[in-house]
Amino acid sequence: MKKKEEKYCGECCWFFGEDTYGFGMCPHMFAELKKCDEKCSVPSEYVSEERMRHLMAVLVQYNRFRRDDEDLYRCPPPAEIGEAIDLAVKYMKTFNKR
């Protein structure tokens, strides 16, 4: 059984192109196929799917706060908003290369 603090490729938001055998690619590992149950080789770039979904929810909540004149929604903390924007920009730069 996996330990909670270990980071695996299949749980990362950067892991893409997974086939039926669990092999996929990571944009931070040039030209290397990874298997989803392998440990992460670049833990500094690791962002779990759960964390990414939380940051996306922060952006949605902040957008609602900005768009509505009424204070119906509580504004998220500025540090989380900044982290969410940084991840969104990094994600777009990584996957939208021209």
Q: Where are the domains of the chain?
A: 9-46, 48-98
Asked whether the CA dihedral 62, 49, 3, 83 is positive or negative, the reply is: negative
pTM of the prediction? 0.73
Buried b (16+ CB within 10 A) or exposed e, 28-47: eeeeeebebeeebeeeebbb
Q: How far apart are CA 30 and CA 55, in angstroms?
A: 26
Alpha carbon distance 49, 60 (integer Å): 17
Looking at residues 67-79, what average pLDDT do you find? 71
Query: At 72, is the pLDDT very low, low, confident or very high (cuts 50, 70, 90)?
Result: low
pLDDT of 71 above 80: no
The residue to which tokens 């929810």 are assigned = 57
Q: pLDDT-derived band of residue 2, with 50, 70 and 90 as boundaries?
A: low
